[in-house]
Chain A
């Protein structure tokens, strides 16, 4: 009996060492490449999981270093500029530098997806613009650039400095939404990846980088050195097999079918969509994960927030500090909070990180409502409790907390509803939930997919509200609910 248990544990352990987690960034091509890698690993007999759309470069890189993921697709230019911060590093330089961090890199997959500036064909023709240097004569043009491009070391600032472009008419826009803005004429110029399927779809012009500003962005896979040999071999087989045209076609396929799996299957020559999950099954998976995220973080926030609220209600320096700190946490943008937590060893890319982030956001309403609920108890009632000879603990449990119950519950309800909304962001670090279809829909500019996440999320928020109205009846003493 013992022996068989040991064998079971051993077999589970080997199975785990032979399974890999593949991450992808929040744009179509990254999803498709990661999916291709996943299918290649599967065919090589390595169990592989794809964590989709985990936000930007830093989150993926830290996850890779920390072991949250084993593999993700990256571009040589990004590695040199953003990760190693060595402008103009050769491929050998990059290899060596990565080696020191315990990270390996495959040869390139066969295409160069460089950054590019794109315009509507008709507008470019009318103004006679063919290259980036031509933009100098047109300071009236409106630029809509992704936030990542605005901040990159090889992005907008050095580009505009090199070409001497005006920096006045610039707004930050999400990538897929930027295309919509470009087509509708709200912006004139946007940054793009040279293999974007949308370039062909919308008949856009890629402006020539006539002064060779953009570095090479050859696609590669980064992997942890301790990834199973079978998986690394499978990745190496993919190198040199995808050129620009093929990549653009795969991207187009993903956007047409709204399925990364289908695009990856087009690569490997399978046409069947047998791997596709049914909508009801997906919905169930998203919703249950979503509830898990919101529920666990809320429970944690109640357990921690109530005592903090009690302490805060006593005022003084400690109380002020508690309220100030929970208030400050609330002002940290959620994406920034996730990015801050991902490099922390215990957290990384995991459900745990998402729950902790949501927990931090739920604290303020609970702490503040508990504190104010307790502070609002009138002096005669407080003194009555004291004069009856009740101990401090008895006063809190028997008198003060029940009297503050309405306010405390309102705080918990606020946190719960906010949590349902915020939990959609968990998908950015691969923690799943209803954010998954919202983010992938946003990347595919596909409203149906967005709604598959947004509608259930709104309904959940409504249900939570109703559930709490019911809880009010249980937790708020009847004497506080009846009107005289």
Chain B
């Protein structure tokens, strides 16, 4: 089967600064791909390019073999779920309101929406009795679960996660890692996860793509990257994060 998303020779500049340079990337279906690298390496920019928040200067992108363009982007967005670091939940809507928003605007029936939300609560282990709460009344971990439910509401083909666990404390993060992995496996979900945390990448990713200064330096499994670093930077990146664990 063809990859769900393909990037061919994508470049993006902000003013004179290079954000992404000549990137080729393919997202295989039913697989978690992890984009990793130091901050400012261009990993979040790639997510923003895929959902059309910014436009590429050069190169082509395809979603399910169809080109991503300004004409197709709105319909593609409905096939993509997106979760950002602080969740991006709308503070004026309850958890339920946030999750149901898209479906309601698409005129889905109330019954259908309700059933789907119950299903998502079970899937993301979010207590149904908290659905009437506003984001400000929820804990950080609960907010990310709501955000995940919102992203999954329309059963998207692609799930984009932009450092969704970065602001959470380690225990909550570990629980969410475990749940997310289970959810993705059960749904056979195609995922692109952005993180700077190598342990997270190791736990969740089947394919790890390491970036530096807007370029992809190496991609492969965790073991491949650790055992056969393509450049000294790869080795250094691994040592810096894993060294702390070993000492």
Contacts and interface: CB of A to CB of B under 8 A. Distances in A.
With a 10 A CB-CB cut-off, give which of B74, B134, B135 has the most chain A CB atoms: B134
B105 A482 contact: no
Nearest to A478: B134
Interface in B38-78: 48, 51, 53, 74-75, 77-78
B84 interface: yes
Contact of B90 (A384, A391, A405): A384
A455 B200 CA distance: 68
A479 B91 contact: yes
Determine chain A's interface SS by DSSP, over half rule. Answer: helix
B94 interface: yes
A402 interface: yes
A381 B135 CA distance: 13
Contact of A399 (B75, B77, B90, B136): B90
B186 interface: no
A388 B134 contact: no
A281 interface: no
B78 A383 contact: no
Contact size range, B? 20 to 34
B82 A387 contact: yes
A477 B48 CA distance: 30
Contacts of A126: none
B136 A387 contact: no
Interface string A452-481: 000000000000000000000000011110
A484 B53 CA distance: 30
B207 interface: no
Nearest to A405: B92
A389 B77 contact: yes
A388 B137 contact: no
A479 B101 CA distance: 15
Given A380-B84, A482-B134, A388 B92 contact: no
Given A389-B77, A403-B91, A479-B94, A394 B135 contact: no
A125 interface: no
Contact of A479 (B75, B88, B92): B92
B86 interface: yes
A403 B86 contact: no
A386 B92 contact: no
A388 B102 contact: yes
Contacts of B77: 386-389
A244 to B, nearest CB: 71
Given A380-B84, A384-B90, A480-B92, A390 B134 contact: no
Contacts of B94: 479
A383 B105 contact: no
A394 B91 contact: no
Contacts of A479: 90-94, 134-136
A384 B135 contact: no
A383 B74 contact: no
A483 interface: yes
A386 B78 contact: no
A246 interface: no
Interface in B115-148: 134-137
B32 interface: no
B84 A384 contact: yes
B7 interface: no
B82 A403 contact: no
Contact of B91 (A385, A389, A480): A480
Contact of A381 (B48, B78, B90, B137): B90
Nearest to B53: A383
B77 to A, nearest CB: 4
Contacts of A385: 90
B5 interface: no
Given A387-B51, A387-B80, A381 B136 contact: no
Given A479-B94, A480-B92, A380 B86 contact: yes
B88 A402 contact: no
Contacts of A480: 91-92
Contacts of B101: 388, 390, 398
Contacts of B48: 383
A118 B131 CA distance: 80
A300 B93 CA distance: 30
Contact of B136 (A384, A390, A403, A483): A483
A483 B136 CA distance: 7
A483 B137 CA distance: 8
Nearest to B73: A389
Contacts of A484: 136-137
A158 to B, nearest CB: 65
B86 A402 contact: no
Contacts of A384: 82, 84, 88-90
B6 to A, nearest CB: 20
B85 to A, nearest CB: 8
22 contacts: A380-B84, A380-B85, A383-B53, A386-B51, A387-B82, A388-B101, A388-B150, A389-B78, A390-B101, A390-B102, A390-B105, A399-B90, A403-B90, A477-B92, A477-B93, A479-B91, A479-B94, A479-B135, A479-B136, A480-B92, A483-B136, A484-B137
Given A390-B105, A391-B74, A480-B92, 12 more contacts: A381-B90, A387-B51, A388-B77, A388-B102, A389-B102, A394-B105, A398-B105, A405-B92, A477-B92, A479-B90, A479-B91, A479-B135
Interface of B: 48, 51, 53, 74-75, 77-78, 80, 82, 84-86, 88-94, 101-102, 105, 134-137, 150
Q: Which 4 A-B pairs have the closest CB atoms?
A: A384-B88, A479-B134, A477-B92, A389-B77
